[in-house]
Structure 1
Amino acid sequence: MLSITSNHPHTLLKNRYQQVRQISEQICQPLAIEDYTIQSMPDVSPPKWHLAHTTWFFETFVLLPHLPDYTVFHPQFGYLFNSYYEAVGARHPRHQRGMLSRPTVAEVYRYRASVDRAINELLSTSQDPALATLIDLGLHHEQQHQELLLMDIKHILASNPLRPIYRHDLAPHPATTARKIEWLKYPGGLYSIGHEGNEFSFDNESPHHQVYLQDYQLADRLVTNNEYLEFMTAGGYQNSKYWLAEGWATVQTQQWHAPLYWEQIDGQWWIMTLGGLDRLDMYAPVCHVSFYEADAYATWRCKRLPTEAEWEIATVNIPQLGNFFDSDFLHPIPVNHPHYQFFGDVWEWTQSAYLPYPGFQIADGAIGEYNGKFMCNQMVLRGGACVTSADHIRPTYRNFFPPSARWQFSGIRLASY
């Protein structure tokens, strides 16, 4: 519980700002200085870039428009750390972020500290209630990058033959068994989905609207490594009949034969984790599978993936989110209520393409580029993962990735009619 010692309208927001910003730096604390600049594939950004980009966001969209006489920390940082905002100007190519030895890590941390001081000054003097909405967006944006940081750090370390350990205390705790799947039944009918109310949401979660669903069933737990291994043993990666055409082409060109980070050593399956290389936990949820793999597995099981509307409707009557998470955002606490299984282990692929909801409108200005322009060639994931901040999870959250992506913490829940 935060302690409020001032009646200033932005005091609570100042405390939240400090907490979120500190978590980003805490995530990077276990890294060696050499780890900060590695880009192990084009989709991965170096940790140093994440720290700078999230700072650039506050400098560009909060400080420059709202703090009189503010001077940018470095005139070229806008070019280096703009991600995809066309309205803001040119930017350094994404796939070349790992070539930036300068600015140094130390200078990036000085950049963060400088912007944090300016934000603190702004929140201490401004009475503008609209400022809170903009900074809240920036904080949720940073929480997205905290998850990306952990995804990218894992890929960076897994690409190193030494298999470096990120944090020793994150070694997996093997499960002893997995209960039999039970099927949760939901009646068809007219339902409403999408965000409503005054709590924070991204623009792609709105407008609230109606959908019609047939009767359907969802598995009450995620697919485990052992169950996915059955698919592999049955020749799942060698049989085209289970795969979408593009998925099968990807399997062939990328030579996939197992989920990302699985490695067979002396006849045993191992997996790279944030706690280092470890034996595969057969009863943990399968993770780091693409949409193509999730869909192929579901087809092999004579099931399917849920739609995002089915998934959201199944979570409507869940008690307050966040109560079942430990204070360490990396360790969700398991809860016995079947509906709680919809959150916290891995993001769950749906069969829904990432498209605008009826009535969706892109906001004016650069902020309008946040989500809308990516509504093409992506699939929706729902829920949350073990690397997602607890207060960043909600039933209406629409995560999205290309169907071939699998470095994110993504898994499988089965559905059927």
Structure 2
Amino acid sequence: MALTLSERHGCVMQSEIRNMSNECRRVGGINLSQGVCDTPVPDPVQEGARDAIREGVNTYTHYAGLLTLREAIAHKQKRFTGIERNPESEIIVSAGATGALYCAFQALLDPGDEVILFEPFYGYHVSTLQASEAVPVYLPLRFPDWSFSTHDLEHLVTPRTKGIIVNTPANPSGKVFTPEELELIALFAERYDLFVFTDEIYEHFLYGGRTHHSFAALPGMKERTITVSGASKTFSVTGWRIGYALCDARWAQAIGYFNDLVYVCAPAPLQIGVAKGLLELGDDYYRALSVAYEAKRDLFCRALTSAGLAPSIPDGAYYVLADVSRIPGKSAKERAMHILRKSGVASVPASAFYHDGLGESMVRFCFAKEDAVLEEAGHRLQILA
């Protein structure tokens, strides 16, 4: 018998986001493809990690994370959403939000279970589902307001439907789900007894007066919701891999056991740094995030408009989808490569966020960069005008 790769290997091939990052590196361009923040890490977060290393917090932690961090997460959750979580039994710290989601899927989904997700989607949600041998089922959001209806949801239900993924604010569209939309999903989840997996990693990146509504806060939803978030975006520590899952104790222990199996624990001193940030940074810090990133959004979207790449203005997160239909190329990938070769600015072909050939007329840019970098990228893009 010839040696072969596993059947599941195809679902974890290198993502288009990383592909474009590599292409950008080859030409020495400006990387606006990958969501890598280059904004400063808050002082308390840095100091907490540094002090923890010096004080010897460098060994294995509890598989669910240091209690100090879990208590800080519970405090923050209560402060911003009103939801109370028991830090000893309802919080699992993992290797980033992606790690927390992977462990949740492993613990709660069986092979063949179907999970609905909104399209355009974040590619790692799909790959992580497939790595768990679950089946993604796609609900296309209607452009330009990224809307959907109860009928859209009902049309997708089968006896195998086990859950739904809600990413708000969303990557790549920047959609912020309204209370009315979340209530519609809640009724749907209750009607069909579904898990609701929410990715709320961009919860503090909101523009135009938008407000984040955590799904678990809706009546009756706390028990069926697995809320995933983390520190990567809020504290600009994407490489630290500190994420977490919040859920009912019935689900948390199994999620924690998978976390122990796959990751053992998140980096110990970095857990302390994040805990210090959660406890010491006040509301002004989080408000300032939205103000600063809204200015970055506006700066870059003006540049896109001037370059003839009409942006779909995001309400949250820190990505923008732009119309590149007039750029030479037969696909989004060819157009993204043309933009990179011509201007030296890397984007992600939006086809990476669709499953059936859609998205070929758009690319995604990340604006989580220093203003000087965004200004230079915007200047370079004008060659496309």
Task: Give the structure, 1 or 2, with the largest relative contact order (CA under 8 Å, sep 6 or more).
Answer: 2
Larger radius of gyration: 1
* TM-score normalised to structure 2 length: 0.23
Calculate the TM-score normalised by the size of structure 1: 0.22
